[in-house]
Amino acid sequence: MPALADREAHAARIGWLGHQDGVKPALTVAEQAPPAALAALGLEKFAPLPARFLSAGQRRRLALARLAAAARPLWLLDEPATGLDAESVARLLALCAAQRARGGMVIASTHTPLALPGAEALEL
């Protein structure tokens, strides 16, 4: 079905990660993503903490956990590695690989190359 034919249905297929992480500071980490998604991003030990106590990189990982848990077929990522250390970038790449293995798609805009096997790059 064309995207514009049913905008609500199309919007429901998209997982978005932009510059703003969308993390809610007053909620705990556990209230914002399920345990499996937190574990995939190495956040399980922070589960009982309010998100306002997380570092920028930890908030970014929580946003990625929320994205992964939403199970949307199309991910649109704007600078997804911002604020992430090398280990967290590896976790991001693993999430993207799992998304693609499920038949999903990842479109990422980035200044930092992401080592995604089989990915196509469009340089502007």
- Identify the domain containing residue 50 by its residue range: 3-109
Q: Looking at this protein, which amino acid is placed at residue 9?
A: A
**Residue 115 placed within a domain:** no
pLDDT > 70 fraction of the chain, expressed in percent and rounded: 99
Residue count (the chain)? 124
CA 79-10-78 angle, 5° bins: 5
109/113 Cα distance (integer angstroms):
9
pTM for the model? 0.89
- Tell me the mean pLDDT in the region 92-101: 94
Contact (Cβ atoms closer than 8 angstroms) between residue 77 and residue 106:
yes
CATH code, domain with 38: 3.40.50.300
Give residue 108's pLDDT band: very low, low, confident or very high (50, 70, 90): very high
- The encoded tokens of residue 84 equal 């992430």
Residue 122 lies in a domain: no
Q: How many domains, in total, are found in the chain?
A: 1
- Checking if the pLDDT of 28 tops 90, the result is yes
